Each structure stands twice: as structure tokens, then as C-alpha cells.
Amino acid sequence: MNRSDFFKRIRQVEAELAAAHLALARLDNQTREDITILTISSVAPNDIRLALGKLEHTYLVRMFAAFEYALRLYLMSVRRRAVLPRTPATHLIRIAAGRLSVPIDTVRKVDEVRELRNGFVHEGRLDTSLTFADCRARINRFLGQLPHEIPPAIR
């Protein structure tokens, strides 16, 4: 696995967010003009607006999962383990940060992204203090500390 693969995954999540946003925004527009396009589905106009309003947060969850996956693969590689015990994201971040000598400010900023993700996942909180692009930049700064090549863990 290369570090660049992790960046590609994150970029792909962002591209899918843009596609979903475009599709939902168009559907929202169309239903405002012609509500009958929803008659054969169980989707209500309000569902579309809610989905649109939560879209960035929904995709943040996916992006953060890609980040966690990258940290897990890295830690499995350096510890030469085929599996990693279930570890909360906060610990993963700290352990990886220690190994990689990630600057404290970068760790703090990623922690704020984690808290934003948690607020949405566990409490449905739509904290808008950070945009998706802000979160992506913070996560990528952390991932930028990974080595270029991450050898596979021993299986």
C-alpha cells in the first residue's frame, strides 16, 4: 500500500460527495417545480432537503473511516500484526501520532474533526464550525506524515 492510495481514497469520497450534492440539489429543484415526480416513491420533499442539509456530515463519516483505515494499516504494518485489536479512533490517532512524530497542532486539529464526526454520528449534531474541505485538509496533513510506502503486515 502506498500513502498516495490513501489520498486517492479521500479524494474519491470528496468526488462522490460532489456527485451526491449535485444529484440531490437537482432533485430538490425538480420537486419544487413538480411534486408528482415523487409519487411512486416513499421519499418526501423534506427527506430530500434533510439529506441535502446533512450531506457533508454524512460524507465526513466516510472520509473519517478512510482516515482510520489508513492509520490501522500503518499501525498493523509497523507492529507486524495481521490484526489490530479494536481501538477507539482517539487512541489510534495518538499512537500513530507518536510513531510518526506528528506536530501537536496537526493532532489537535484532527481531534476536532473526530469530535465533529462523533457529534454527528452519536448525537445527530450538525456542527458547522468546519467545512468538509477544512476536515479533508486537516486529515490529509496528518496522513502526509505517513511514509510513502507501507509494507503489508505479516499474515
Nearest-angstrom CA–CA distance, 28 and 30: 6
CB within 8 Å of 58: residues ≥ 6 apart: 51
Residue 11 beta carbon to another protein: minimum distance, rounded to whole angstroms:
6
Dihedral sign, Cα of residue 120, residue 104, residue 144, residue 152? negative
Residue 11 CA to residue 66 CA, distance in Å, equals: 10
# residues near another protein by CB under 8 A: 12
By CB under 8 A, residue 103 contacts another protein: no
Q: Any contact of residue 144 with another protein (CB under 8 A)?
A: yes
Q: Does 140 bind another protein (CB under 8 A)?
A: yes
Q: Choose, by CB under 8 A, the member of 63, 93, 143, 150 that binds another protein.
A: 143
Query: What residues make contact with another protein under the rule CB under 8 A?
Result: 7, 10-11, 14, 133-134, 136-137, 140-141, 143-144
